Amino acid sequence: MTPSSTTDPEVHTDRLFVGFGSDRPDCSRLTVFAETSVELCGTPAEVAVIGSSHYLYAPDLCFREIISCKSLPHDAVAELRVPDGDDRRLRYAGESVTAEITVSVRHIDTYPTDGAFDLIHEFEPDAYTAIAVDGDSYETYHTYPEHGCLVYSETELERPGDDATQR
């Protein structure tokens, strides 16, 4: 998180919001620091590190995930306390894909400094957002040095009719 973001009244330094939906995020409200295209479930997807965390959007899957320290007006919003939040398991069922996401708060030392990330941005020393995509799933890492914690998420996607044993 950037130092200036802590003075923004919409930014919460003690919690994160997780949102899902089917449409592209309104990027006019987002500060994008880094972005790239990846393949997710065999379809193109865009991932971005934003001023308040990250988003992933896969148009062919009609799927969007955003994690932010700003309140979200998105579908299926959940809230996670930082740094003392409990692990959360969330589920999103869209028309084209089902997503299962696990979000957990860990000690900052568990951040994989040698990770093979598809996208990474360092906001300030030890304050990172990183994303790694692997087939039908992806992981995100958000470090908060001011709290000494890492917020880790793993999202697994499945298309209706997919047989998990064929993966």
The pLDDT of residue 13 is 67
- pLDDT in tens for each of the 167 residues of the chain? 433 334 444 666 677 888 888 877 776 777 889 999 999 999 999 999 987 788 899 999 999 998 887 776 655 577 777 777 778 899 999 889 999 999 999 999 999 988 899 999 999 999 999 999 999 999 999 998 988 999 999 999 999 876 554 44
pTM above 0.85, yes or no: no
How far apart, in whole angstroms, are the C-alpha atoms of residue 24 and residue 65? 9
* Residue type, position 61, single letter: L
Domain boundaries, the chain: 3-158
Residue 60 per-residue DSSP state: G
The dihedrals phi and psi of 55, each to the nearest 5 degrees, come to -140, 155
The three-state secondary structure class of 22 is: coil
Radius of gyration for the chain, computed over Cα atoms and rounded to the nearest angstrom: 15
The three-state secondary structure class of 10 is: coil
Q: Is 125 exposed, middle or buried (0-12, 13-18, 19+ CB in 10 A)?
A: exposed
Residue with tokens 């941005």: 121
The pLDDT of residue 166 is 43
Q: How far is CA 22 from CA 9, 70, 99, in A?
A: 28, 19, 12
The pLDDT of residue 69 is 78
